[in-house]
């Protein structure tokens, strides 16, 4: 079998497979393409077929030493492993050099969530101008329905089902799900759409810039951060914080992990279970404050008990 190099045609075929068969997002495919370029760079002048588990481990070690984090390294290995499996299915290779290479252990940090009071502060008294009405609607919707930033930015006016008080969302892997819209979010959306449709009746996007273009993810991030700064919130607030806040608050109130998983669009319930840890932290704090046998005795307590 001839040696195989990462030709543009081979990479394009793999990326087309990721997009059309595995239905990964355009952004994920872009990352995978970049990861394959890195594989070429580190293997050079060797061919793809000359990679061994030892070489792959050495490459991962070098990248880690350069400061690449565990999550990035794990995705890198996933991209390379998937690419070799793709070549094996095409009978261009017989073994996968990444198969026995373990992904770095990722430290799982608890997501940051706002308190219910702070979350509601973000929505209050934004103003009556067009941009304030738009920002009010997008903030309410982020917190009401737990959307990802990309999901919010890609929404169209036709995705809202007013009669059913729901929203059609296209998430990761181009998977569509239906999520509920809260009353406050629905009211804010109606006010914003009244302004938007008067100014830009031909637009299809739900959230528009001042020039009538679809509001970009970067702009949404900036508007959310700006709102938090205006209120003097100490927390670093970004759209995903509102998604975390939604999940944490609904789970604390309902205890229904499966329902939260469905609304968030998590493929695995393991991803949703992280919010049970947030809930447990809250319960632990309540326990420490309320239970007489949980409190750490102070010197004053000790002196009192000895009298």
Q: What is the pLDDT of residues 171-216, one digit of tens each?
A: 887 888 998 898 999 999 999 999 999 999 999 999 999 999 999 9
The pLDDT of residue 257:
74
79 and 123 in a single domain? The answer is: no
What's the whole-model pTM score? 0.58
How confident is the model over 211-227, as a mean pLDDT?
93
**Could you confirm whether 266 is annotated as catalytic?**
yes
Residue 66 pLDDT: 86
CB contact set of 245 (below 8 Å; sequence gap of 6+): 113, 114, 116, 119, 143
Q: What is the pLDDT of residues 93-125, one digit of tens each?
A: 889 999 888 877 765 555 577 788 888 888 887
Phi, psi of 169 (to 5 degrees): -120, 135
Q: Which of 14, 32, 143, 275 is catalytic?
A: 275
Sheet of 176-180, strand order: 160-161, 166-170, 176-180
**The pLDDT value given to residue 304:** 41
pLDDT at site 25 = 83
73 and 159 assigned to the same domain:
no
Say whether both 149 and 261 belong to one domain: yes
Percent of the chain with pLDDT strictly greater than 90: 32
- Check if the beta carbon of residue 246 is closer than 8 Å to that of residue 146: yes
Q: Report the pLDDT value the prediction gives residue 106, as an integer from 0 to 100.
A: 61
Which residue in the list 172, 177, 200, 282 is annotated as catalytic?
172
Mean pLDDT of the chain: 82
Residue 109 resides in a domain: no
Q: Let me know if 275 is a catalytic residue.
A: yes
| CATH code where residue 280 lies | 1.10.443.10
Q: Which of 46, 64, 118, 266 is catalytic?
A: 266
- Give pLDDT, residue 190: 96
- Summarised one tens digit per residue, pLDDT across range 247-275 is 888 877 777 778 778 888 777 766 666 66
Does 49 share its domain with 163? no
- Among 112, 214, 240, 282, the one annotated catalytic: 240
Judge if 85 and 159 occupy the same domain. Answer: no
Q: Is 244 assigned a catalytic role? A: no
Same domain, 26 and 158: no
Q: What is the pLDDT of residue 300?
A: 44
Residue 232 is assigned to a structural domain of this protein: yes
| 176: containing domain | 116-288
Residue 283 is predicted with a pLDDT of: 44
Q: Is 62 a catalytic residue?
A: no
Q: Based on the structure, what is the number of domains in the chain?
A: 2
Catalytic residue among 136, 223, 243, 244: 243
Q: What pLDDT shows up at residue 287?
A: 45
Is 58 in the active site?
no
What b/e readout covers 121-130, taking b as 16+ CB neighbours within 10 angstroms?
bbbeebeeee
Q: For residue 44, what is the domain's CATH number?
A: 1.10.150.130
Q: What pLDDT is attached to residue 164?
A: 92
**Whether residue 241 is found in the same domain as residue 132:** yes
99 catalytic per annotation: no
Task: Answer yes or no: do 144 and 236 share one domain.
Answer: yes
**Would 103 be classed as within a structural domain?**
no
Residue 22 lies in a domain: yes
| Domain-located, residue 173 | yes
> According to the model, what pLDDT value does residue 244 have?
86
Q: Is residue 108 part of a domain?
A: no
From 148, 223, 227, 249, the catalytic residue? 148
CA-closest candidate to residue 138, choices 194, 174, 184:
184
What is the dihedral angle through the alpha carbons of 14, 26, 60, 111, rounded to the nearest 10 degrees? -150
């Amino acid at each position: 079998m001839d040696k195989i190099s990462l030709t543009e045609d081979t990479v394009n075929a793999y990326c087309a497979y990721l997009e059309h068969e595995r239905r990964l997002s355009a952004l994920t495919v872009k990352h995978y393409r970049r990861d394959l370029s890195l594989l070429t760079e580190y293997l050079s002048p060797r061919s793809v077929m000359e990679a061994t588990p030892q070489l792959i481990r050495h490459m991962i070690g070098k990248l880690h030493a350069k400061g690449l984090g565990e999550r990035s390294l794990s995705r890198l290995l996933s991209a390379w492993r998937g690419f070799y499996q793709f070549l094996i299915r095409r009978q261009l290779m017989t073994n996968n050099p990444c198969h026995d290479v373990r992904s770095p252990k990722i430290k799982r940090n608890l997501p940051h969530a706002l308190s219910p009071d702070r979350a509601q502060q973000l929505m209050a008294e934004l103003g009556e101008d067009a941009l304030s009405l738009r920002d009010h609607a997008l903030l309410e919707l982020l917190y009401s329905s737990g959307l990802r930033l990309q999901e919010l930015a890609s929404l169209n006016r036709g995705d809202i089902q007013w009669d059913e008080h729901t929203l059609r969302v296209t998430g990761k892997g181009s998977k569509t799900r239906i999520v509920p819209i809260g009353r406050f979010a629905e009211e804010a959306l109606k006010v914003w759409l009244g302004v938007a449709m008067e100014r830009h009746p031909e637009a299809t996007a739900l959230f528009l810039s001042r020039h009538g273009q679809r509001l970009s993810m970067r702009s949404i991030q900036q508007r959310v951060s700006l709102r938090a700064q205006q209120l003097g919130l100490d927390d670093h607030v970004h759209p995903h914080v509102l998604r975390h806040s939604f999940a944490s608050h609904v789970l604390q109130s309902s205890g229904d992990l499966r329902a939260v998983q469905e609304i968030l669009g998590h493929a695995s319930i393991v991803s949703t279970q992280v919010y049970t840890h947030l809930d447990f932290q809250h319960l632990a704090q309540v326990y420490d404050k309320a239970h007489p046998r949980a409190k750490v005795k102070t010197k004053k307590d000790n002196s009192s008990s000895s009298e």
